[in-house]
Amino acid sequence: MTATATTPRVPADSRGPRASRVGRVTGSPVLRLVVKRLLMAIPIMLGVTVLTFWVLSLIPGNAAQQLLGPEATPEDIALLEQQLGLDKPGVVRYLEWLQGAVTGDLGQSIVSRQPVSEILSQRLPVTGEIVLLAFVVSLVLAIPVALLAAHKPDGVMDRISMVVSTLGLSVANYVLALLLVLVFAVTLGWLPAIGFVPLEDGLWPNLRSMILPSAAIGLPLFCFYTRFLRGDLVDQMQQEEYVTTARAKGVGSWSVLIKHAFRNSSFGLITIVGLNLGALIGGTVIIEQIFALPGIGQMLLQAINTRDFVVVQAAVVIFALVAVLANLIVDLLYAVLDPRIRYGSS
Amino acid sequence: MAVVEPAPSFSLGPEIDQAEAKAGGRGRGRWRNNLGTWIPAGLILFVLVACFLGPTLLSLPSPVGGNILESNQPALSPGHILGTDPNGNDILSRLLNGGRSSLWIAVAVNLIGLAIGGTLGALSGYVGGIADTIIMRLLDVLIAFPSLVLTLAVAQALGPSMTNTIFALAFFSIPAFARVARSAVLRLREMPFMAAAQLSGTTARRMLFKHLAPNIAPQLITFGMLGMGIVIIIEGALSFLGLGIPDPAPSWGNMVATGQLSLSATPMLVVWPSVALLVTVLAFNLLGENLRARWSGR
């Protein structure tokens, strides 16, 4: 608190010369925020894994029964259960799993005996590519469309974007996926209906197999971002005093919109994007199923069907980790962008 | 901030004020912004009547157990306005009966979410302190949990049936409602009338039911409208994956899923349930958005 004594607290707007900047970083409320949020993530991750174990233990039947089929004798099943370690109580199995997971060892698949890390290294890139494509393209398209729409509220662009985004938000992604297949694969024959071409077979074939799945995920996302950003921009332009000030200074309308309003609206957009990332990954489950893509979602569905709990657990950990990390990054971006939060003056 | 600030006047929110100004008068403005509510509400009513009374009124054939000899009839064939599916079942009948279960599930899930999640969230926000922290951390776990994964696991654990689908989906409607209720209560707690009520010695029970509940109800109902759309879509996803409504019985999700198998030959099998899904969800979303715009001015 000596810093406060020597340099009196100044309003955020009239920030002092460079001298105090160093002090701010080392005093680092940002660092404290990171640590605090990371500590908060630990109980959430623990809760998620406990919940998964519990829910999975409710599913009737186990991997031993699934592997041996309906003809197996109870003795055979009991033997295999013992070999696979399935006869131990759930709490013990969870603690054993947790012990491995903490050291980065997610165990091996009960069904295929393949290490989970190996399975993940094959499947993560596929899901990652779809999500990244959908995410980047929708965001890149949403920003200019929202700006155009907000520039003239109730204008032609605004109305078109409103109708499109309302429709896009009401369509289920599996329905959209099938309609896209119906139009672009079945009727027009431009793109493959299903299947995945790895990147090693060339960039274009790979992208071709990814266009429809990414579009099915990205289109609703685009609508969501556009709609949110447009609404926030219009609110800023109509209600905020800084907009009136800028206009009175003679700043052009596009300039006010982009340099002033958009800057402020980007906070809201970042929050929405972060909150959405978890749901986005979850949404890939059904899309991967429709397009027969070998990603995490398909792995999860197969694992649930074969009662391969180790693999299910790994998928859930990945999904939850993405959600938690996305929220963490949002908080950090906030702190970086907004001085009020950085200095904890709220 | 010492500049003269205009007194906060009652406003219905920017969009509606604008619509009013544009319509050039209060009378027409009102009519216009009512239209935004009545059209989707009418659409919802239409879907409800069609799904719940339609099969009886139109004396449609049963949605299951069709005659295989009558399979794959085209639309407008005698007795089957939309034709029949590969099993010889009337498509219109399956569509309306399927919608009935989708709507039942959506209503049940949202009511459970509203009752349990709304109460938890409101209490959590009102009481504050450790109880609030514990409840919110527990809900954080549910929210960090990928909802589809949870519902898949629960549906798998309980086995596919209508009741189990409702339970599975309620798992994540509860935290969502709780969040909304909590943030609404937190905002209300700062209001002068709450302090006034507290100072005049109002009992906790009266505070909750007479002061808090009526004020957070609009937000929860609006959220419930949007929730209807979400639940209808996710129920469809579960049925699509074979974990929702068990097979011979129709649902929009499993109609889309079975139609997918013959997408190039008989695309209408996918198109009809898709249109039904889209129209219903759209109507709920429009109504929700409109109510939100109306109430956001408060």
Distances (CA, A) of A236 to A133, A233, A262, B187: 30, 5, 9, 21
Residue A28 forms part of a structural domain: yes
Residue B253 forms part of a structural domain: yes
Question: Which structural domain range is residue B180 located in?
Answer: 93-296
* Residue B68 banded pLDDT, cuts 50, 70, 90: low
* Residue of chain A minimizing CA distance to B14: A235
Pair (A196, A329) in one structural domain: no
Give the long-range contacts of residues A309-312, CB within 8 A, separation 24 or more. A309/A53, A309/A56, A309/A63, A309/A110, A310/A97, A310/A106, A310/A107, A310/A108, A310/A109, A310/A110, A310/A116, A311/A109, A311/A110, A311/A111, A311/A116, A311/A119, A312/A52, A312/A56, A312/B153
Question: Which structural domain range is residue A168 located in?
Answer: 122-295
Of B141, B153, B264, the CB nearest to A55: B153
pLDDT of B11 higher than 70? no
Distances (CA, A) of A217 to A133, A143, A187, B90, B163: 9, 18, 21, 32, 29
Q: Do B240 and A153 touch (CB under 8 A)?
A: no
A chain contacts of residue B253, beta-carbon cutoff 8 Å: 174
Rounded mean pLDDT, B49-74: 72
Residue B143: strand, helix, or coil: helix
User: What is residue B15's predicted lDDT score, i.e. its pLDDT?
Assistant: 42
Q: Do B153 and A312 touch (CB under 8 A)?
A: yes
A129-133, A154-158, A197-201: segment of lowest average pLDDT: A197-201
Rounded mean pLDDT, B230-247: 81
Closest by CA to B283, choosing from B15, B100, B37, B106, is B37
Give me B55's structure tokens: 């099969």
Pair (A145, A238) in one structural domain: yes
Interface test mutation site (partner B, options A13, A45, A46, A48, max chain B beta carbons within 10 A): A48
Percent of chain B with pLDDT over 90: 1
Q: Which tens digits make up the pLDDT trace of A28-45?
A: 666 777 777 778 778 878
A297-311, B73-87, B226-240: segment of lowest average pLDDT: B73-87
Q: Do A166 and B286 touch (CB under 8 A)?
A: yes
Note whether B56 contacts A: Cβ–Cβ < 8 A: no
| C-alpha to C-alpha distance for A301 and A307, rounded to whole angstroms | 10
Closest by CA to B20, choosing from B28, B33, B29, is B29
ipTM of the complex: 0.71
Note whether B191 contacts A: Cβ–Cβ < 8 A: no
- Name the more confident of A334 and B22: A334
Provide the chain A residues 112-171 that lie in CB contact (below 8 A) with chain B: 153-154, 166-167, 169-171
Pair (A314, A215) in one structural domain: no
| C-alpha to C-alpha distance for A210 and A192, rounded to whole angstroms | 9
CATH code for the domain in which residue A222 is found: 1.10.3720
Query: Nearest C-alpha of chain A: how many angstroms from B285?
Result: 7
Rounded mean pLDDT, B225-229: 84
User: What is residue B17's predicted lDDT score, i.e. its pLDDT?
Assistant: 43
Note whether A238 contacts B: Cβ–Cβ < 8 A: yes
Of B18, B157, B256, the CB nearest to A154: B18
Closest by CA to B165, choosing from B248, B91, B240, B259, is B240
Pair (A66, A139) in one structural domain: no
Domain end marker among A295, A314, A334 = A295
Residue A117 forms part of a structural domain: no
Residue written as tokens 């707007």? A13
pLDDT of A10 higher than 60? no
A61-75, B45-59, B219-233: segment of lowest average pLDDT: A61-75
Q: Do A182 and B149 touch (CB under 8 A)?
A: no
Mean pLDDT, rounded, of chain A: 76
* Residue A4 banded pLDDT, cuts 50, 70, 90: very low
DSSP class of residue A182 equals I
- Name the more confident of A271 and A120: A120
B chain contacts of residue A278, beta-carbon cutoff 8 Å: 144, 146
User: Cα B2 to chain center, whole Å?
Assistant: 44
Number of domains in chain A: 2
CATH code for the domain in which residue B164 is found: 1.10.3720.10
Rank A33-37, A76-80, A273-277, B131-135 by mean pLDDT and report only the highest. B131-135
Pair (A28, A146) in one structural domain: no
| C-alpha to C-alpha distance for B273 and B259, rounded to whole angstroms | 9
Q: Do B236 and A59 touch (CB under 8 A)?
A: no
Pair (A98, A137) in one structural domain: no
Pair (A143, A58) in one structural domain: no
Pair (A31, A153) in one structural domain: no
User: What is residue B228's predicted lDDT score, i.e. its pLDDT?
Assistant: 86
Residue A193 forms part of a structural domain: yes
pLDDT of A8 higher than 60? no
Number of domains in chain B: 1
Rounded mean pLDDT, B12-29: 44
Note whether A311 contacts B: Cβ–Cβ < 8 A: no
Q: Which tens digits make up the pLDDT trace of B171-190?
A: 778 888 888 888 777 777 77
Percent of chain B with pLDDT over 70: 78
Note whether A235 contacts B: Cβ–Cβ < 8 A: yes
A chain contacts of residue B169, beta-carbon cutoff 8 Å: none
Query: Nearest C-alpha of chain B: how many angstroms from A21?
Result: 27
pLDDT of A172 higher than 70? yes
Pair (A91, A131) in one structural domain: no
Residue B8 forms part of a structural domain: no
Rounded mean pLDDT, A317-321: 80
Note whether B282 contacts A: Cβ–Cβ < 8 A: yes
| C-alpha to C-alpha distance for B215 and B239, rounded to whole angstroms | 37
pLDDT of B22 higher than 60? no
Q: Which tens digits make up the pLDDT trace of A201-239?
A: 777 777 777 888 888 888 888 888 888 888 888 877 777
Residue B206 forms part of a structural domain: yes
Rounded mean pLDDT, A60-80: 72
* Residue B21 banded pLDDT, cuts 50, 70, 90: very low
Of A51, A175, A301, the CB nearest to B278: A175
pLDDT of B26 higher than 70? no
A134-143, A155-164, B28-37: segment of lowest average pLDDT: B28-37
Pair (A100, A182) in one structural domain: no
Residue B220 forms part of a structural domain: yes
* Residue B250 banded pLDDT, cuts 50, 70, 90: confident
User: What is residue B195's predicted lDDT score, i.e. its pLDDT?
Assistant: 77
Rounded mean pLDDT, A96-107: 78
pLDDT of A345 higher than 50? no
| C-alpha to C-alpha distance for B125 and B182, rounded to whole angstroms | 5
> φ, ψ for residue B255 (rounded to 5)?
-65, -40
Rounded mean pLDDT, B120-132: 79
Pair (A101, A183) in one structural domain: no
Pair (A233, A315) in one structural domain: no
Residue A116 forms part of a structural domain: no
Query: Nearest C-alpha of chain B: how many angstroms from A80?
Result: 22
| C-alpha to C-alpha distance for A208 and A204, rounded to whole angstroms | 6
Q: Do A279 and B229 touch (CB under 8 A)?
A: no
User: What is residue B72's predicted lDDT score, i.e. its pLDDT?
Assistant: 67
* Residue of chain A minimizing CA distance to B232: A172
